[in-house]
Amino acid sequence: MAAMKKLVVGNWKMHGSRSVNAELLQGLLAADLSTSAPRADVAVCPPFVYLADAVAALQGGAIAVGSQDVSVQAQGAFTGEVAGPMLRELGVRYTIVGHSERRTYHAESDQLVADKARAALSHGLVPIVCVGETLAEREADQTEAVVGRQLQAVIDTLGADLVRVVVAYEPVWAIGTGKTASPEQAQAVHAFLRARLTAAQADAARVPLLYGGSVKPDNAAELFSQADIDGGLIGGASLKAADFAAIARAA
């Protein structure tokens, strides 16, 4: 059972400048996604230092703003961290947690990711929880074991709050590589995730499941047409207004 409305989120990663971002946001505003993509919710996730600019530029419009991470702590002596209440005060709605780059480069564990999701929810943010396998894990037929383990930590930690999250399946081998899971491959994993969520809590069948991994205007429609793919978490293509708008329209 797929969500009624698609969700398309742009993850800018560590890209941009004030002038480049202003041009990108202006392009997205000009695309008028509330009219041209009325069946999709849309959000962008700039680097922390540009969040306030993005919130100001998009104020009152159809595009929400998200962050690329959040601390498990609400405040305190945690140098370099950004807390949920700070993000919420800025007007941020979503936060990405557990992206493969955080898991790989910052050694974030499944439990830490689950704890970040819980912290986000406690401060009024919607966590986008990322799961995904490496190429070696896929070739070893471990995809379901890996994403199942990653998701189970969230299920166990959130309990009844599980229904309030978004889950993004991002095969690590398809992120920034130009490779994309076929619609059938992506759908198979999404169906597995849907079944796991539903088994944990019947209402969790409504949790939006996004696909991420080299989504482009020319493959978005076919991916989004799959029964259990409710939208996308978009990397490189979200840095080009025309491409990101086209993907949103495909949803």
Ramachandran angles phi, psi of 15, nearest 5°: -130, 160
Only one residue has tokens 């199942």, namely: 148
**DSSP H helical ranges for 9-167:** 18-30, 33-36, 51-58, 84-90, 100-105, 110-122, 135-139, 143-158
Tell me if 82 sits within 8 A of 125, measured CB to CB.
no
What value, to the nearest 5°, has the Cα angle with vertex 228 and ends 196 and 104?
A: 65
Q: Which one of the listed residues 99, 108, 133, 190 is annotated catalytic?
A: 99
Based on the residue annotation, tell me whether 190 is a catalytic residue of this protein.
no
Only one residue has tokens 């989004």, namely: 224
What value, to the nearest 5°, has the Cα angle with vertex 89 and ends 158 and 99?
A: 45
CA proximity to 30, closest of 52, 53, 62, 6: 62
Q: Determine the straight-line distance between the first and last CA of the chain, rounded to whole angstroms.
A: 16
Q: Which helix (H) or strand (E) holds 41?
A: strand 40-45
Q: Which one of the listed residues 101, 108, 133, 170 is annotated catalytic?
A: 170
Based on the residue annotation, tell me whether 123 is a catalytic residue of this protein.
no
Helix, strand or coil, per DSSP, at residue 233: strand
Indicate the residue type of 86: M
Q: Point out the residues that are catalytic.
A: 99, 170
